[in-house]
Chains A and B, each alone.
Chain A
Amino acid sequence: MVMPKATSTPSESAHQRFPSPAEQQWEQRVLDPALAKNPENPIGAASGVNLDDAGNARFTTISGTEVDRLYTEADLPREYVTDPDTFLGLPGQVPYTRGIHATSYRGKLWTMRQFSGYASAEETNARCKYLLAHGGSGLSIAYDLPTLMGYDSDDPQSEGEVGKCGVAIDSLEDMETLFDGIQLDSTTVSMTINSPASVLWAMYLVVAEKQGVDWNKISGTLQNDILKEYIAQKEYIYPPAPSMRLVVDTFEFGALQVPRFNPISISGYHIREAGSTALQELAFTIYDGVEYVEWAVRRGLRVDDFAPRLSFFFNSHNDFFEEIAKFRAARKIWYRLMTERFGAKAERSHKLRFHTQTAGVSLTAQQPRNNIARVALQALAAVLGGTQSLHTDGFDEALALPTEEAARIALRTQQILAFESGVAQTADPLGGSYFVERLTLDMENGAFDYFRKLDAMGGMVKAIEIGYPQKEIAEASYQYQRAVESGEKIIVGVNDFVVEEQQQAILYIGDEIRLQQTEKLKRLRARRSNEEVQRRLAELRRVAALDPDKEPVVPGQLSSANTMPAILDCVRAYCTVGEICEALRDVYGSYTEASWT
């Protein structure tokens, strides 16, 4: 492979334009008279963010970034114009701005992976089979809040929460029901689970074992991204350091024993949902990736042994071009970091693969069917940005988990994009667009500005402890809310184009799931060997208390401090999620954040 001369972005002191003579002439002869005749009007109220200092209309993305009237060659560094093959590259070639595959979607369409999970394992199993029967090409499981927080359904903390935001899983028994009739060697499964990720992964692996499926053959993705929990979604259990250790344990275990599984999905989705800008989502997420790599390397893992299995997860929000630029920039930034910062040699380590979900936060409870259009545009941006897999939200998700009809329309939206629209037929169709390339460069430069700040703070865990990303996001979120309140940013059906309406039928999940799960747990505790359960939990506590940095590192062998084997043994003995997480809480303690408002 021919390596380009340089992979970094040409340095730009500031975005300075040098318009061509033709453009200067156009300004004088065409633009100025047009402006004199018809001045530009802001989109939204003529105040605040929508006006510049001189009182002229100002146009900004949803993140507040200014958008110019026109983009031409003058907006790009000279090298982009004189040597695009080096600086922009080609699909499947460094720096991967134009995609990680030479054939883009012509070789393989993106995976249509609809996130689903509610009530009991039985009901979620039925919804998963329904999605697969309707052309979904992978599964993605949502767990309920007690599971995400490491509590059993019968725990007092779980009251009112069981089965509400996802499926309730208490033990291996529930996991067996969840995947009943779904062959794990032919279906890839993504699991949205973070603090207890290793526990749920162990359950998944034991189900595969019971199906007679070789761990070398299964593939799928764990979310397992604890950093974004501290930053945005706040479903953490233990303090950052032991949480990071558990994550690195999964990297090590996966690399050796489940080589086709992605042990992590480094997620910007939730950062964006918490109100960040597109740039913050990009920068914080990729820097989370940097933090994971650094912790793993410190543990003695070789970067090329685990980096090929790091995967990412982004949000696709309303501002079409800004989102596309974000996805394109992500690939290039990761390539630069892996080569320049970590010296990764394997090509697979250099390629950023990502899943995308349309922006739940952008959905409106008002006139919910309008969300079908929003989701279609967001999904289109994800596809034009080169996503590897996609979840499209149901139109009713501002109100509740999606009904079957809403889930089907969401999947159909992807199928319309894939099979009718023609957008999947050529690689990176917007590559070379002056506007999109400029936005992509701005994303890249902006991300590296954030990286310098985060490096100076001593890394992401340190930044989280002082509340830096949390405060940045809260500020952006509030500024956006202000712009909406003042009508400077329009949300159709909410602050403009409003109608009176009745709430429509939604998926309603009652409180009976908790009783059912409590019964199941009672039967399980009577049936299993509780003596074995206690023995397995004691062994887990012992291993969890070992310091992995002090255990010998033998290349090609699992560290004796790795918690995965002990967790697998707990799961096989039908210890519950709550019991296993409680054992780890005993060793690691739990975490409470200072609350910043």
Chain B
Amino acid sequence: MTTTSTTPIRVLVAKPGLDGHDRGAKVIARGLRDAGMEVIYTGLRQTPEMIVNAAIQEDVQVIGLSILSGAHNAIVPRVMGLLKDHGADDILVVVGGTIPEQDIPSLKAAGVAAIFGPGTSLEETVTFIVQNAPRRDVV
């Protein structure tokens, strides 16, 4: 296993569901980029299938899902299931947005590594990703 700290972490920032409020997704995408990561932003209204396909094609280590509309219980488990189906469940999945506390255990059980609520600092998000993103061999 060769890992070097100079290999940037690749992240897909995705905005699933019908909601168009993308301030958070855009701020996060730029913040992660400024922290040295390679960030792909999907744009709006991505289905779980589109997100998983993009993640595999782009060979990312991390998927960040931005969800504010309350559709997380429908969307997140499907993303996790599709990742598993494609053998891509080593990808670290984090969720940002407004998630009621009572929904957090089931999302974590589905494999979400972290949920970042309103007011989370960029620094906290960056640190978590740096510490938890799976390593990729450098070819």
Contact = CB atoms under 8 A, between A and B. Distances in A.
Interface string B38-54: 01011110000000000
A161 B101 CA distance: 18
Interface string A251-293: 0000000000000000000000111000000000000000000
Interface in B15-48: 17-23, 26-27, 29-31, 33, 39, 41-44
A157 B101 CA distance: 25
Interface in A110-165: 145-146, 148-149, 151, 157-161, 164-165
Contact of B98 (A364, A398, A491): A398
B74 A159 contact: yes
A595 B23 contact: no
B27 A145 contact: no
B102 to A, nearest CB: 7
B73 interface: yes
B20 A234 contact: yes
Interface in A476-513: 477-478, 481, 484-485, 491, 494-495, 503, 506, 508-509, 511
Contacts of A399: 98, 100, 118
Nearest to B99: A399
B110 interface: no
Contact of A478 (B30, B118, B121, B123): B30
Interface string A221-261: 00000000100011110000000000000000000000000
Given A365-B119, A399-B100, A508-B102, A161 B70 contact: yes
B134 interface: no
A494 B121 CA distance: 9
Contacts of B26: 474, 477-478, 596-597
A64 B20 CA distance: 26
A165 B123 contact: no
Contact of A364 (B13, B18, B119): B119
B8 interface: no
Interface string A572-596: 0000000000000000000011111
B69 interface: yes
Contact of A235 (B20, B27, B70, B100): B20
Given A399-B98, A511-B73, A160 B119 contact: no
Interface residues of B, number: 36
A365 B116 CA distance: 12
Contacts of B121: 484-485, 495
B24 to A, nearest CB: 9
Nearest to A160: B74
Which of A148, A477, A481 has the largest number of chain B CB atoms within 10 A?
A: A481
B70 A365 contact: no
A388 interface: no
A400 interface: yes
Contacts of B70: 160-161, 164-165, 400, 509
Given A234-B44, A491-B119, A508 B100 contact: yes
Contacts of B23: 273-275, 361, 477
B88 interface: no
A366 interface: yes
Contact of A481 (B18, B19, B101, B122): B122
Given A398-B118, A495-B121, A158 B31 contact: no
Nearest to A484: B121
Contacts of A146: 18
Given A485-B123, A597-B26, A597-B30, A160 B41 contact: no
B27 A160 contact: no
A596 B29 CA distance: 10
Interface in B99-138: 100-102, 117-119, 121-123
Contact of B69 (A161, A364, A484): A161
A332 to B, nearest CB: 29
B10 interface: no
A161 B17 contact: yes
A477 B27 contact: yes
A366 B119 CA distance: 8
Given A481-B27, A595-B44, A597-B41, A273 B21 contact: yes
B100 A506 contact: yes
B107 to A, nearest CB: 13
A217 B96 CA distance: 46
Nearest to B42: A595
Contacts of A275: 23, 27
B44 A365 contact: no
Contacts of B123: 485
Nearest to B72: A160
Interface in A163-194: 164-165
A233 B39 contact: no
16 contacts: A145-B17, A146-B18, A160-B73, A161-B71, A161-B74, A275-B23, A275-B27, A399-B118, A474-B26, A481-B31, A593-B44, A596-B26, A597-B26, A597-B30, A597-B33, A597-B41
Interface of B: 13, 17-23, 26-27, 29-31, 33, 39, 41-44, 69-75, 98, 100-102, 117-119, 121-123
Given A161-B17, A478-B30, 18 more contacts: A160-B17, A160-B74, A164-B70, A235-B20, A273-B23, A275-B23, A275-B27, A361-B23, A365-B117, A365-B118, A399-B100, A400-B70, A400-B98, A477-B23, A481-B122, A484-B121, A485-B122, A595-B44
Rank and list the top 8 A-B pairs by shortest CB-CB distance, nearest first.
A234-B20, A160-B74, A160-B71, A595-B43, A164-B70, A145-B18, A365-B118, A597-B29
